[in-house]
């Protein structure tokens, strides 16, 4: 795999005109300690201690409008004899046009997203933050759109096909400024197909998630990254298991968020109240549902209290306490995380990196390095 990837990249560099190309590289590393206490059978006590690193190298052309990148994402938990590691290839083409506010990519895209936990849980994002498919992002002063297709598992003789299609669209009262209103929503379609030699009783499974919402954000001092945000909406999902009962199951509830940051302190409060989501979880688990399992309750409250220990443009160290309460159980999590990001532009010091704040998806210039 490594020789094959290196050969492709070398061929690209040698065949492109020297006047229009630029060698690019980046390294994104995350180290996390997350101790989870409380929970139930679906969310048992456990501790995540791992390091994840994604080195990339590639070439850009035409004033960086076109970019081809390759590398790997190496997930390594702390364990005896290095058991449990996971290595994911990264190889993708990216188009970016700052003036048009358009970015898109196709291939195996690493560290691509920061998305809501009802779409992808923390645990799922730890192991696999990548997208296998394509992604498009549009950023305008009053409108943003993000959509992707992610092929999570391919169909074989005895394995199901699994993929999701996701879209997010938001209207904004203005570009990132002092006060900002927004309204829009998120939609996802999760799909499980039958294997080639499917056993009796195996059928196609559909899951549709909708989250219309509106909110308001107040930005304070930019240098300190102070802000306050409030958002409210509805979380609606419908599921169908074929052959099963072959009927649509619908679930809906209220979902709200309050988030704020002042100097080095941050506070996030998330609440869901309504019908239990993920009605087929006991049967299909994370193969179908990528979201946080706590939504499988009628009431779910999550409070995150964070403190920034050290922060620069290329590194961030944070401690966080998480308090979780549902109608069935309570949980208490403690976390310390470090994020380090470096690329050729930062290395040369001829261009400052973009801000890491973007609550709607990705940074236009390049994909947002994942943080925890």
Residue with tokens 């899951």: 207
pLDDT over 70 for what percent of the chain? Answer: 83
Fold of 2-348: Porin (2.40.160)
3-state DSSP call for residue 3? helix
pTM: 0.84
Q: Maximum Cα–Cα distance for the chain, whole Å?
A: 63
User: For 325-338, how does the pLDDT look when each residue is reduced to its tens digit (9 = 90+)?
Assistant: 999 889 999 999 99
Q: Using the 8-state DSSP alphabet, how is residue 295 labeled?
A: G
Domain locations along the chain: 2-348
Terminal Cα-to-Cα distance of the chain (whole angstroms)? 29
pLDDT tens track for 178-207? 788 999 999 999 999 999 888 888 889 999
Task: Grade residue 43 by pLDDT with cuts at 50, 70 and 90.
Answer: confident
Query: pLDDT tens across 354-364, in order?
Result: 433 333 333 33
Structure tokens at 270: 């998330």
- The predicted-structure confidence for 97-154, as pLDDT tens digits, reads as follows 888 889 999 999 987 766 788 998 888 888 888 899 999 999 888 889 999 999 999 8
116, exposed or middle or buried, with CB in 10 Å at 0-12, 13-18, 19+?
A: buried
- Token pair recorded at residue 220: 């304070």
pLDDT over 90 (residue 53): yes
Residue 12: pLDDT band (50, 70, 90) is low
pLDDT over threshold 60, residue 223 = no
Cβ contacts of residue 372 below 8 Å, gap of 6+?
30, 32, 34, 122, 125, 126, 335, 337, 339
Instruction: Quote the mean pLDDT of the chain.
Output: 84
Query: Which segments of the chain does DSSP mark as H helices, in order?
Result: 2-15, 122-127, 281-284, 344-348
The mean pLDDT of 298-307, rounded to a whole number, is 96
- Note the Cα 160 to chain centre separation in Å: 23
What token pair was written down for 99?
């003036």
Q: How far apart are CA 22 and CA 11, in angstroms?
A: 14
Please say whether the beta carbons of 311 and 339 come within 8 A. Answer: no
């Amino acid at each position: 795999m490594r020789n094959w990837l290196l050969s492709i990249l070398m061929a690209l560099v040698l065949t492109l005109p020297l006047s229009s190309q630029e060698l690019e590289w980046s390294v994104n590393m995350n180290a996390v300690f997350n101790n989870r206490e409380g929970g139930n059978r679906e969310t048992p006590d456990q501790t995540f201690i791992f390091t994840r690193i994604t080195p990339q190298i590639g070439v850009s052309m035409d004033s960086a409008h076109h970019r081809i990148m390759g590398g790997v994402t190496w997930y390594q938990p702390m364990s005896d004899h290095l058991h449990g590691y996971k290595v994911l290839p990264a190889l993708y083409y990216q188009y970016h046009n700052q003036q048009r506010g358009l970015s898109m990519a196709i291939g195996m895209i690493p560290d691509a997203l920061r998305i809501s936990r009802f779409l992808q849980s923390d645990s799922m994002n730890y192991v696999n933050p990548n997208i296998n498919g394509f992604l498009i992002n549009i950023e305008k002063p009053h409108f943003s759109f993000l959509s992707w297709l992610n092929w999570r598992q391919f169909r074989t003789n005895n394995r199901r096909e699994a993929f999701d299609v996701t879209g997010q669209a938001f209207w904004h009262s203005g570009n990132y400024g002092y006060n900002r209103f927004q309204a829009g929503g998120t939609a996802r379609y999760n799909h499980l197909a039958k294997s080639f030699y499917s056993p009796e009783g195996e059928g196609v499974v559909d899951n549709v998630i909708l989250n219309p919402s509106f909110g308001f954000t107040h930005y304070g001092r930019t240098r300190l990254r102070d802000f306050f945000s409030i958002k409210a909406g509805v979380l609606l999902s419908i599921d169908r298991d074929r052959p099963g009962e072959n009927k649509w199951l619908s679930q809906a509830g209220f979902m709200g968020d309050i988030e704020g940051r002042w100097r080095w302190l941050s506070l996030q409060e998330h609440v869901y109240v309504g019908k239990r989501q993920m009605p087929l979880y006991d049967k299909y688990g994370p193969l179908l549902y990528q979201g946080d399992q706590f939504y499988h309750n009628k009431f779910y409250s999550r409070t995150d209290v964070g403190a920034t220990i050290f922060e620069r443009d290329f590194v961030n160290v944070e401690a966080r306490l998480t308090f979780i309460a549902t109608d069935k159980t309570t949980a208490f999590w403690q976390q310390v995380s470090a994020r380090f990001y470096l690329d050729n532009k930062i290395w040369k010091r001829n261009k400052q990196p973009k801000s890491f704040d973007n609550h709607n998806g990705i940074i236009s210039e390049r994909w947002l390095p994942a943080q925890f």
